[in-house]
Amino acid sequence: MTAVSSPSDANTKPLVQARNVHKSFDQLEVLKGIDLDIMPGEVVAVLGPSGSGKSTFLRCINHLEDIQQGYIEVDGEQIGYRVKNDRLEKLSQNGIARQRRKIGMVFQQFNLYPHMTVLQNIIEAPVGVHRESRKDAIENAKRLLERVGLSEKANAYPRQLSGGQQQRVAIARALAIKPKLMLFDEPTSALDPELVGEVLATMRDLAKQGLTMIVVTHEISFAREAADRVVFMDGGVIVEQGKPQDVIGNPQHPRTQAFLSRFL
């Protein structure tokens, strides 16, 4: 594995640090020791075949999945645990909920709240969890909707939107909590091919604005153009990582080569 220089200066502390992360579902070990640092402002694309553990790793970062071994830290806090009297103890559900509040997430299936309008979807967490005033939250939501190009859909219900529009709303909803880190779990995999472009365009826009993003994706072109670093996973380990032009343009590992050859 090659050390990768971050886009920000060398003295800043990584926003995400993962060390020797292991995760099993019953007998099946899906993560077999992941080490990864992500610097503030960095956009990391995680590529790999299905079943490589890339989505699971993403879900471990905000503790939607617990890990059996290792260490994950986001913004200086160990996720899911705390140290008390020099002993590591599991956090309560509410403690974990509090840690998640600085991490935005976008899901493959969008997961908008179907009983709420677009605007209500976006202000739900800011008002209900972050205790923002309703007025501020609505103003911010309208700005975000403008940014993703859906201002006129504020009062529509998710069912009335196309898949691409729903995913752009989901991105706006995740941005509304002003996250320090954004996780994208295959955000375009459930979309019709002609709708993928609009979502990727929105994500490229975010990448340019310096948001720290981890994107699990099958979109090689997005990884090449928008990512600062590409991480290739297979069989529960990171096989290769580096600058997009190196990993995608000139892959060293045979498994990376085999995977990428299918997209040429």
Partner 1 sequence: MSTSTKNKAAPSGAADFRDVTTAHTPFRTGSFVLRVAIAVIVIDFAWIVAKNENFGWPIVARYFLDPTVLSGLYVSLGLTVIAMILGVALGLVIAIARMSDDRLASSFASLFIWFFRGTPLLVQLIVWYNLSTLFPQLSIAIPFGPTLASWDTNSVITPMIAAIVGLALNEAAYMAEIIRGGLISVDRGQAETAQAFGMTKGRALWRIIIPQAMRSIVPPTGNQLISMIKATSIVSVIAMADLLYSVQSIYNRTFEIIPMLMVAVIWYLLITSVLNIGQSYIEAYYGRSDRRNGATAAKPAAAIEEVSH
Q: Is 109 in the site for partner 1 (CB under 8 A)?
A: yes
Q: Is 115 in the site for partner 1 (CB under 8 A)?
A: yes
- Binding to partner 1 (CB under 8 A) within 175-204 occurs at 177
- Binding to partner 1 (CB under 8 A) within 74-103 occurs at 93-94, 97-101, 103
**Binding-site string for partner 1 from residue 136 to residue 175, where x marks contact by CB under 8 A and - marks none:** ----------------xx-xxxxxx---------------
Among 20, 66, 89, 129, binds partner 1 (CB under 8 A): 129
Kindly indicate which of the ranges 45-53, 110-118, 210-218, 232-240 contains the residues binding partner 1, using the contact rule CB under 8 A: 110-118
Q: Is 263 in the site for partner 1 (CB under 8 A)?
A: no
Ramachandran bin of 85, using left for φ above 0, alpha for ψ from -120 to 50, beta for the remaining angles: left
Q: How far apart are CA 93 and CA 63, in angstroms?
A: 11
Q: Is 15 in the site for partner 1 (CB under 8 A)?
A: no
Q: Is 224 in the site for partner 1 (CB under 8 A)?
A: no
Q: Is 50 in the site for partner 1 (CB under 8 A)?
A: no
# binding residues, partner 1 (CB under 8 A): 31
Kindly indicate which of the ranges 16-24, 30-38, 121-129, 255-263 contains the residues binding partner 1, using the contact rule CB under 8 A: 121-129
Give the number of other Cβ atoms within 10 Å of residue 119's Cβ: 19
In the complex with partner 1, the residue whose CB is nearer, 7 or 114, is 114
**Minimum CB separation from partner 1 for residue 55, in Å?**
12
In the complex with partner 1, the residue whose CB is nearer, 14 or 158, is 158
In the complex with partner 1, the residue whose CB is nearer, 116 or 237, is 116
SS (H, E, C) the chain: CCCCCCCCCCCCCCCEEEEEEEEEECCEEEEEEEEEEECCCCEEEEECCCCCCHHHHHHHHCCCCCCCEEEEEECCEECCEEEECCEEEECCHHHHHHHHCCEEEECCCCCCCCCCCHHHHHHHHHHHCCCCCHHHHHHHHHHHHHHCCCHHHCCCCHHHCCHHHHHHHHHHHHHCCCCCEEEEECCCCCCCHHHHHHHHHHHHHHHHCCCCEEEECCCHHHHHHHCCEEEEEECCEEEEEECHHHHCCCCCCHHHHHHHHCCC
Q: Is 134 in the site for partner 1 (CB under 8 A)?
A: no
In the complex with partner 1, the residue whose CB is nearer, 152 or 225, is 152
Binding site for partner 1 (CB under 8 A): 62, 64, 93-94, 97-101, 103, 105, 107, 109, 111, 113-116, 124-125, 128-129, 152-153, 155-160, 177
